[in-house]
Each structure stands twice: as C-alpha cells, then as structure tokens.
Structure 1
Amino acid sequence: MGSFRRTRGKAKEEGWRARSAFKLLQIDEEFDIFQGVKRVVDLCAAPGSWSQVLSRKLYVPAKLNPKSRDGDLPLIVAIDLQPMAPIDGVIQVQGDITNARTAEVVIKHFDGCKADLVVCDGAPDVTGLHDMDEFVQSQLILAALTIVTHVLRVGGKFIAKIFRGKDTSLLYCQLKLFFPRVTFAKPKSSRNSSIEAFAVCEDYSPPEGFNPKDLYHLLEKVGSPSGTGNLDCSSAWLEGPNKVYIPFLACGDLSGYDSDRSYPLPKQANGSYRSLDPVQPPIAPPYKTALEMKKASTGLPLDQ
C-alpha cells in the first residue's frame, strides 16, 4: 500500500476526517500555537479535520475539567461556504471569508471579543501549473487576511497554507506588514513532493492607524518601487543581491506520522486488513449537483 494512502489510513484509525489533522498537530508541537488560546477561528474549515484538532486540543479538555464553568470553555468558530457535519464545541458559520460581514458574525459569537488564533487550511482545486496554483493560493491567503484584520486580537497568531514558488518572498513581505514573526513551516506529514507549506504568523501587530478597509491598498504597495515606508518590503528586498531570506522550518517530531513513509498494517482478528470507510463523508459535496444531473439525463443510479 502506498505511503500517501497509508497516512490517510492512520487518520481514519484515529478518527480524523482527513490526514491534514496531523499537519496542524505537528505545527503545534513546534510552535505551541494553542498556548493560552480561548477563542479561535477556522477558515475554509470543511470537511473539518482542523476543527477536530481544535476541539480535541482546546474544547474537550476544558469540558472534562471539573473546575471549568460554561463561560470558561474555549470558543471555536468554523467558517466555510460548504456545510459540514457537527463537531463537539465548534460553532459553524456558512459564509464567505472575503466578506467583512462574516467577521461581524464571528465577533458576535465571541461576545464582542476578538480571536487569539486564526487558522486556514483552505486551498483551490490545483491545476498542476505551479505558478498559477501559487498565485491563486496567495490570493486566498490575502482574502483570509480580510477576516484576520477584523477578528484577530493584537498579539494573536495566524496559520495559513501556502504554495511555495517564485513569488513566495512577496507573500512573506505582505504578511510581515502585520506580523513581526513569520515562519514558513513544512510539517513532516506534508508530502516532500508537494509545494505546500504553512505560514506561521505570530504577534499580530497591524501598522499604526491601519484601517481594515485599506487592506488591499496597503498590500498593493509591497514590492512596488515606492515600497512601504520603513517596513523594508520594497522591491529591492524581493529580488537581486538584497533578496529577503525567508525563515523556513521543517517541523514535526521524528516519530510523528510521515506522509512519505509506509506503515505496517494493523493485525485484525481474522488476520486480514479491512479498508476503513471515511470518518465523515461530505454532507454537501460540490459534485452532488453534477451527479443528480447525470442521473436525471441517463437514468443511472448516483454511484455509477
């Protein structure tokens, strides 16, 4: 059995909806991102593996603590355009992360307070054209900043999936406008052949006088000849002999799950291994309409 499939099997055995749960766990092992977190937002959350991690690491331990009161329980808000099956302690919001109104809904759930942590494992459907995939993914991250600049407290953290490529330095400098510490990390559970990595942004500190409405106007200045004042993100820092060097870290304990490794199959009572069903099939897959149209036009059952 291939290593990629095997790691997915490990996720099923541990009850995770997707193997991406291991990536967030390994990021936490390296950066301790959950320390002191009481309010967290999961962007592009479906099918919910990162929300599961947040629930198990934050909400469930607090719920099981006999000293905890209802008002002390961590608050987790998951946002996606698609609905997903319920997760203990997770509030679901169907919304668009590019819309500031979605941020207002989140803050309302937090009783007017702001989040300690925002995570985003969202990604577009990849084409295999790395430059295009990198560009579209960077635009998704900047869209996520629309929410971050509205809901994240000063000093908070932001974790987002990135695709590494020729414009990675530009994205790094854009994130540095808001976070003094930005590290691009590669969890062990992320395949070596993948251009995927994760931006770990710490200590949220927006520029003085920053208005979230001016987000894209500010981002457009990064890499332009005029630069961005004293933020050291002018074009001279993005190319040539003065090119900025990005902190990059491979994270995850050596004993942690590795997507490029095969694991021995667990022994079953009858001596054979039975393939596991998905922990949680999608409840509203984007291809559902296509299947229904196919059934209507051909008379075939949905599974054919």
Structure 2
Amino acid sequence: MADHWIENHKRDSWRKQAKASGYRARSAFKLKQIQERFGLVRHGDTVLDVGCHPGGWAQVAVELVGPEGHVVGIDLEPCQPVEGAVLLTGDITDSYTQERILEELGGELINVIVSDISPDITGKWDMDQSVAMTLVADVFDFSLPLLKKGGAFTTKLFQGIGVQELIDAVKPHFSTVRRYSPDASRNSSSEVYLVCRNHMPWKSPKQSIRERYEEAVDVLVGGNEIEEGPAPTSTSFTVRRKKKD
C-alpha cells in the first residue's frame, strides 16, 4: 500500500508540473529529461515526432529547435495544433501516411527522431508487448533512411521478450545505443527508452531491422528449430513369404 501511494503521488506530481508549465501531458517531462541527459536536439534541427498525441513531446521539440527548426508529428489520433509544429493524422506504417510525411519534409533530412508510440493495449501482455516491438522496428525501418549522418533516435520500449534482440538489430546503425529510464516514467516498471546517437548510414545492413529482429526472436523462442522424427528402433520382426505347393 505504501509503494502504491508513493507511485500515485509521483504521477500526480508530474501531472501538476505539466499543467503548471503549460504542457499537455506529464510525458513532456520524459523528453525533457532525455534531452537534459543526452542533448539530442539542437537549435534549428528538424525533428520527427512519432506517436505525437496529445502533443506534449511536440511542444518540447518546438522549444528545443526554436523558430529556425522544423517539427513534424504523426499519430493515429488527431492532435490539437501545436504552434510551430505540423501535426499529421495517420498510421506511420501506411504508405499513404509515409508519403504525406515525406511531402511535409520536402526533401529535408531529419536530425532527430523521437517516438513515444504505443499500440492499442488489449490487456494480453505478451501479445501487446510483441506488437509494440514490431511497431518500433517498423518505425526504425521507415525513418532511418531519412535520418542524417550523426542524427539521433529515441523511442519507448516495453521490457519483455525480444528487447535485447531489437537492440542488437539497431546497434549497427549507431555508434552508441543505450537504455534510459527518465524519472518521469518510473511509475511504470516495464517502460524504458532506447537512446541511439550518431547515426552511421554507411554501416547499415541490407536486411531491414524488422527482418533481423524477427529472425532473432524466432531463434530465441525456438521457432527455427526443426523437430526431429522419432529415433529408429531395431526389431526382430520379419516377413516370410508363403511357399507355393
């Protein structure tokens, strides 16, 4: 009960701070703390905000890039406008939505990708976590070709089966990849952020992140193993032909 009270108090504290600071959600402080620790976003940068609803991360991104920067957000759920940002509605894994993002960027490459994306939760943890991981892999595969050399990427992950496999699939693309848990998100033990810095496009493997991730998970859970048939056994049984008269 004491631990439950402490966690509720933390959540209420971050909500109050968000409201007092003019942010739409307490999650804004997660990005602020990631920025304070790693300094991913710079003045004048172009930022892609994936899973931008309700707009808290877009608000922080606009503050960080300043008037010379460019912030584009995308989410399945419509988001109230954020001054200084372009917020689109659509599925980032859909080709039509991807085209809209490319049009908005106008050929401009991205300095930083920030993602707080999460799938619809069904309550079945194993399935939800698997879908979330696959979604993150898809976001990487779409956006990495748009990320500048030396660029950064941070995304939310849910701890569970396949996390290390996804990290291993991402590592070749960046010089540093590490997990980080902001103070503002410690009420959820399963939530962690992957912070990737210094994009190295010339080292990118030909195979997609999702393909490499799924192959690694298949090996992890034994999906690639071929079941052997029963071992042959010896027998003294023989067939004798009947002699003809």
Q: What TM-score do you get using the length of structure 2 for normalisation?
A: 0.77
Separation (CA, whole Å) in 1 of partners of 2:26 and 2:187: 15
Equivalent residues of 2:28, 2:60 under 8 A apart: yes
Answering whether residue 224 of structure 2 is matched by residue 217 of structure 1, we say no
| Aligned position for 2:14 | 7
Q: Deviations over 1:215-238 (max 9, x none)?
A: 54344444666xxxxxxxxx7xxx
Structure 1 letter corresponding to 2:26: R
Equivalent residues of 2:158, 2:192 under 8 A apart: yes
Q: 1:94 aligns with which of 76, 89, 97?
A: 89
Shift of 1:146: 3.1
| Aligned position for 2:53 | 46
| Aligned position for 1:198 | 193
Equivalent residues of 2:46, 2:65 under 8 A apart: no
Separation (CA, whole Å) in 2 of partners of 1:165 and 1:37: 36
Separation (CA, whole Å) in 2 of partners of 1:40 and 1:169: 26
Q: What TM-score do you get using the length of structure 1 for normalisation?
A: 0.63
Shift of 1:168: 1.8
Looking at secondary structure, tell me which structure has more helix per residue.
2
Separation (CA, whole Å) in 2 of partners of 1:209 and 1:196: 27
| Aligned position for 1:105 | 100
Answering whether residue 142 of structure 2 is matched by residue 147 of structure 1, we say yes
List runs of 5+ in structure 1 lacking aligned partners: 63-72, 226-234, 236-304
Answering whether residue 128 of structure 2 is matched by residue 114 of structure 1, we say no
Separation (CA, whole Å) in 1 of partners of 2:109 and 2:27: 26
Shift of 1:29: 0.6
Shift of 1:8: 1.1
Q: Secondary structure at the match of 2:155?
A: strand
Structure 1 letter corresponding to 2:115: C
Shift of 1:107: 3.2
Aligned residues: 213
Equivalent residues of 1:102, 1:147 under 8 A apart: no
Shift of 1:41: 0.4
Larger relative contact order (Cα-Cα within 8 Å, sequence gap ≥ 6): 1
Relative to structure 1, is the Cα distance of residues 164 and 209 closer, same or farther in structure 2, using a 3 angstrom cutoff? Answer: closer
| Aligned position for 2:238 | none
Report the structure number with the largest CA radius of gyration. 2
Equivalent residues of 2:173, 2:199 under 8 A apart: yes
Separation (CA, whole Å) in 2 of partners of 1:209 and 1:138: 20
Separation (CA, whole Å) in 1 of partners of 2:104 and 2:120: 30
Relative to structure 1, is the Cα distance of residues 138 and 91 closer, same or farther in structure 2, using a 3 angstrom cutoff? Answer: same
List runs of 5+ in structure 2 lacking aligned partners: 221-245
CA RMSD, Structure 1 to Structure 2 (Å): 2.5
